[in-house]
Amino acid sequence: MTTTVNPYAYNITVREIDFDGDPHFEARVKELPDVREYGASYGEAYELAIDTIETAATMFDEEGRSFPPPAVLQDDFSGRVTLRLSKSLHRALAHSAVDEGVSLNQHLVNVLTYDQGFRTGGRIWAHPFVMDTPAVRRNVAAVNRLQSESSEPWQEVLTQRKLPRVPADLAA
C-alpha cells in the first residue's frame, strides 16, 4: 500500500521564538501535534516540517498504518454565534457596552477581537470590525507599551484589569 502525501497541503505555522537570547523559528503542523521543528530561519524551519511530514508518511506507509490527512479548510462560517451567559456576566458586559456607547454585540466583537489579536501578537487594528472607541484605544496603547517594556505583558495586563463587582447574592 503506497500512499502519496502532499506535505504542502498540511497546515504549517512558523513563528519566531527566543531560545537562550537567540532568535530561532519553530514550525508546527496542525494535523500532527507532536511535530515541532526548529531552524535558524523561517524557511529552514518550514522545510524541516515538510521533510518531517514526508518522512513520517513514509514510515506510516511502511508499517501499514494510515497517515492523518491534511485538514480541510472550512470557509462556510455565517458569522453568527449564540452564547449562553450567566446573568452577572451578561449584566457586566451590557454595562461595559453602555459605557463605551456601543451595542452589546459590537462590544463583544471588540473584546473578542482584542483578545485574539493580543494572543496572536498581531495588531488588532487590522481587524475590520474593531471600532475605534476610547477604551479600545487605551487598551491598545497599554498593550503596545507593555509589549515593548516587558517579556511577559499578559501578566501586567491581567493584574491591571478590574473585574466587575458581583453582588453577594450572585457570588454564592
CA atoms lying within 13 Å on the CB side of residue 87: 4
- For all residues of the chain together, what is the average pLDDT? 77
Q: What cell numbers appear for 90 in the block? A: 451578561
CA atoms lying within 13 Å on the CB side of residue 156: 13
Helix, strand, or coil here: 53?
Answer: helix
Q: What are phi and psi of 37, to 5 degrees?
A: -120, 145
Please tell me whether the overall predicted TM-score, pTM, comes out greater than 0.75 for this model: no
Q: Are 28 and 12 in contact (CB under 8 A)?
A: yes
How far apart (Å, rounded) are the C-alpha atoms in residues 44 and 26?
A: 10
77-134, pLDDT tens digit by residue? 788 888 898 999 899 889 988 888 889 988 888 888 877 766 655 554 444 444 555 6
